[in-house]
């Protein structure tokens, strides 16, 4: 049974954040669908039957038993680094999962107002951790400070690389949508999952948003509220096969 932090859950009811986000290689989708949940690196690493690619084997944040997520928009800077890693570079197709924000209220979830790995795993649990991510200013390395300007997106944390270390596993019922960089990528992945009978449940939407995979677009949306498109995609949009 999932236990929730009452203070975080109460704050989430009125908090402007609408979702959590999580980057993963597209090849992990069949494993997520068949398992019916999003599992931690630690859990998957101990399962000899699991077929997956982890984006961060080192887990410098110190919490391999949790799932790394972001508030409102994904960490585009980490995505840029992760996709170049030698054990992942041969798997160029990535997706971004949009999770129900209630996931952040699960008891034991940790919040880090900046990149958790850079902060040495110094994350904070509970509502104080959540509020720290939205502080007027967030100190960083070398005396650098990230501040919230007048145009900062209300739903986004002060530092674009703030993280939420979510208690695993995350049930597939909490996944609201899968985001793809292009329509072609969505169509290809839908076809692949359909062929193997591993389509996600009907409540999971399909979205196309090039901006979600661009660090520059994400930064602009977070710091200046210059939002990019997130367009719903449907299987009927797939090109019809030629007879």
Estimate to the nearest angstrom the gap between the alpha carbon of 99 and the chain centroid. 7
Provide the pLDDT for residue 48: 39
112, 61 Cβ separation under 8 angstroms: yes
- Nearest to residue 21, comparing CAs of 153, 221, 164? 164
89 backbone φψ class: left, alpha, beta (φ>0; ψ -120 to 50): alpha
Residue 90, classed as helix, strand or coil, is coil
Q: Tell me what pLDDT residue 80 has.
A: 72
Tell me the backbone φ, ψ of residue 68, rounded to 5 degrees: -75, 125
pLDDT of amino acid 123: 85
pLDDT attached to residue 87: 52
| Average pLDDT for runs of 10 along the chain of length 243 | 95 97 92 91 55 49 84 87 57 89 96 80 88 92 84 97 94 98 96 94 97 96 98 84 54
CA distances from 96 to 3, 25, 42, 83 (A): 26, 9, 21, 13
């Amino acid at each position: 049974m999932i236990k929730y932090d009452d203070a975080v859950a109460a704050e989430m009811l009125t908090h402007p954040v609408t979702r959590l986000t999580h980057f993963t290689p597209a090849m992990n989708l069949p494993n997520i669908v068949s398992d019916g949940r999003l599992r931690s690196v630690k859990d998957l690493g101990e399962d000899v039957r699991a077929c997956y690619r982890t984006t961060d084997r080192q887990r410098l944040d110190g919490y391999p038993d949790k799932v790394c997520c972001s508030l409102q928009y994904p960490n585009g800077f980490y995505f840029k680094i992760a996709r170049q890693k030698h054990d992942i570079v041969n798997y160029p197709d990535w997706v971004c999962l949009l999770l129900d924000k209630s996931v952040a209220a699960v008891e034991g979830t940790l919040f880090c107002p900046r990149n958790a790995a850079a902060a040495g795993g110094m994350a904070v649990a509970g509502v104080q951790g959540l509020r720290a991510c939205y502080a007027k200013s967030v100190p960083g390395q070398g005396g650098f400070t990230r501040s919230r300007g007048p145009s900062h997106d209300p739903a986004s944390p002060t530092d674009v690389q703030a993280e939420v270390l979510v208690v695993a596993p995350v049930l597939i019922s909490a996944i609201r949508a899968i985001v793809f960089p292009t329509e072609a990528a969505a169509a290809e992945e839908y076809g692949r999952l359909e062929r193997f009978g591993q389509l996600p449940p009907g409540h999971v939407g399909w979205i196309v948003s090039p901006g979600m995979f661009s660090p520059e677009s994400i930064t602009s949306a977070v710091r200046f509220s210059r939002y990019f498109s997130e367009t719903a995609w449907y299987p009927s949009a797939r090109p019809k096969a030629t007879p």
